[in-house]
Structure 1
Amino acid sequence: MIKYDRLWDTLKEKGISQYKLIKDYGIDKAQLHRLRKNMVVKTMILNNLCRILDCRIEDIMEYVSDDMENK
């Protein structure tokens, strides 16, 4: 499973709110909802987030095996 928990930590570290992502950077509310729920998102969104936050993909997402998720 791909999890986006790291995104919220990176946003906090960079001092960027979800509101700012929506208003200043044009990130769609629906995409943020999908990220909060660890749902499928387009790679374009992930690319934009990395650009906005000046970070690596590992700073916003991680892979957690289903075995680890069930424990």
Structure 2
Amino acid sequence: MISYAPLWETMKKRGATTYILQVKGEISSSTIRRLKANESVSTNTLKTLCKILNCTLDDVMAYLLDTEPSSEV
């Protein structure tokens, strides 16, 4: 599972708000909603977040191991 918890911490450290993301990065409110729900977003959005916040992907997202076994091989 992808978690965007690091994004909210990074934003807090930098004094950024979702309003700044929408105005400076032209990130839509529906994309903000998807980020808050840990849903998928485009790589363009991830790039924009890193650019606005002057950070790396590790500061925006984290991969968490699923607790349920996967049927994929």
- What TM-score, normalized to structure 1? 0.89
1:46 aligns to 2:35 (yes or no): no
Whose radius of gyration is greater, 1 or 2?
2
**What is the root-mean-square deviation of aligned Cα atoms in Å?**
1.3
Paired residue for 1:10? 10
Q: In the comparison of the two structures, how many residue pairs are matched?
A: 68
Conserved? CA contact 2:10–2:59, under 8 Å:
yes
- In terms of fraction of residues, the more helix-rich structure is 1
**What amino acid does structure 2 have at the position aligned with 1:64?**
L
Residue 66 of structure 1: SS of its match in structure 2? coil
4+ residue segments displaced more than 2 Å = none
How far, CA to CA, are the matches of 1:10 and 1:18 in structure 2? 12
How far, CA to CA, are the matches of 2:21 and 2:63 in structure 1? 24
How far, CA to CA, are the matches of 1:41 and 1:48 in structure 2? 11
The share of aligned pairs that are identical, in percent, is 38
- What TM-score, normalized to structure 2? 0.86
How far, CA to CA, are the matches of 1:40 and 1:25 in structure 2? 18
How far, CA to CA, are the matches of 1:14 and 1:29 in structure 2? 20
How far, CA to CA, are the matches of 2:24 and 2:55 in structure 1? 18
Conserved? CA contact 2:24–2:52, under 8 Å:
no
